[in-house]
């Protein structure tokens, strides 16, 4: 089976072109191929397949084999692969309401519906960056889901691993809990991440983010991803953190998220209530995984 290693800001996955390949057990493959010592290594497995309603379909499996609804860094790489490898013909220009325009666009089917991406192309007609319309954030607890009542979960006190924390919860098609702190580097993410991910408040587990506000337009964050552990970047998490910062009165609708792997530009657009995320996508290498 031929595969391609790609990453968005170091959030790396193994990608399989299912226009040509077949994967009988994606959950099992995700567990072995993601192993950084005995496999290819990555935060998980992403399949790129034909779609009846979009240019391509993306299916994502975490390193532990669990299937996730979406991956913001992953979908940018799916768009790059789909365009660069000419799996389909791209659509026309794409514009952010009141913002920048992109010369080409793709629609990708995900577990969170069909999302549209605007593409930035280099002189060789390859995708350098992609801007994703990540859709409207989901804020009601039962829809995130979080086992709490009310209309929103904003600065909600919670005790985890003996620590008193304050959390804001957002779904970007997958669930996120955001915790603001004074020093994000001092957070014991290895300890707190898994304790929060598997807490009884979250029936589907949850992605965990600690964020430090530098200014009203800058956030620095670290992530524990559901099913994968500590990662260098999380696109949906950056979007959720932007929304959480705005809800909690800590940042503006347009901001830059500084992640260990690099920066993402975020815009929770007031005109349509959608979150737009812009960042790079890179292809690293190709290889052949032996049939077993």
- Rounded-to-integer distance, Cα 261 and Cα 147, Å: 32
Q: Nearest 5°: CA angle at 275, between 273 and 281?
A: 160
Q: How many residues does the chain have?
A: 292
- Rounded-to-integer distance, Cα 206 and Cα 210, Å: 13
Three-state SS for 75?
helix
Three-state SS for 282?
strand
Three-state SS for 171?
strand
- Catalytic residue from among 71, 131, 239, 255: 71
Q: Please give the DSSP secondary-structure letter assigned to residue 138.
A: B
Which of 245, 186, 193 lies closest to 219, judged by CA?
A: 245
Ranges assigned E (strand) in the chain: 2-8, 11-17, 44-49, 56-62, 67-68, 94-95, 101-102, 104-110, 113-121, 127-133, 156-160, 163-171, 175-180, 207-215, 218-225, 229-231, 254-259, 262-268, 275-280, 282-288
Is 234 assigned a catalytic role? Answer: yes
Is 71 assigned a catalytic role? Answer: yes
Which of 206, 216, 224 lies closest to 242, judged by CA?
A: 216
- Catalytic residue from among 131, 234, 242, 255: 234
Active site residues: 71, 234
């Amino acid at each position: 089976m031929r595969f391609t290693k790609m990453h968005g800001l170091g959030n790396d996955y193994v990608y399989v072109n299912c226009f040509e390949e077949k994967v009988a057990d994606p959950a099992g493959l995700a567990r072995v191929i993601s192993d950084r010592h005995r496999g290819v290594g990555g935060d998980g497995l992403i399949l790129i397949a034909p779609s009846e309603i979009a240019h391509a379909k993306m299916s994502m499996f975490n390193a532990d084999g669990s299937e996730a609804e979406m991956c913001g860094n992953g979908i940018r790489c799916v768009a790059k692969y789909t365009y660069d490898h000419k799996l389909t013909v791209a659509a026309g220009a794409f514009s952010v309401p009141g913002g920048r325009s992109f010369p080409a666009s793709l629609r990708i089917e995900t577990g969170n519906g069909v999302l549209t991406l605007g593409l930035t192309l280099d002189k060789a007609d390859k995708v350098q960056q992609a801007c994703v319309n990540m859709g409207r954030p989901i804020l009601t607890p039962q829809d995130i889901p979080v086992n709490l009542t009310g209309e929103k979960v904003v600065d909600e006190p919670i005790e985890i691993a003996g620590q008193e924390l304050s959390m804001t919860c957002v779904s970007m098609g997958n669930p996120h809990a955001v915790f603001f702190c004074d020093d994000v580097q001092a957070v014991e993410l290895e300890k707190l991440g898994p304790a929060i991910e598997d807490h009884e408040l979250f029936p589907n587990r949850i992605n965990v983010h600690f964020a430090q506000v530098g200014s009203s337009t800058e956030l620095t964050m670290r992530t524990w991803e559901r099913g994968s552990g500590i990662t260098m970047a999380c696109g949906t998490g950056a979007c959720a953190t932007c929304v959480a910062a705005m809800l909690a009165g800590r940042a503006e609708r347009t901001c830059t998220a500084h992640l260990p792997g690099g920066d993402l530009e975020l815009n929770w657009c007031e005109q349509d209530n959608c979150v737009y995320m812009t960042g790079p996508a890179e292809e690293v290498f190709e290889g052949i995984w032996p049939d077993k």
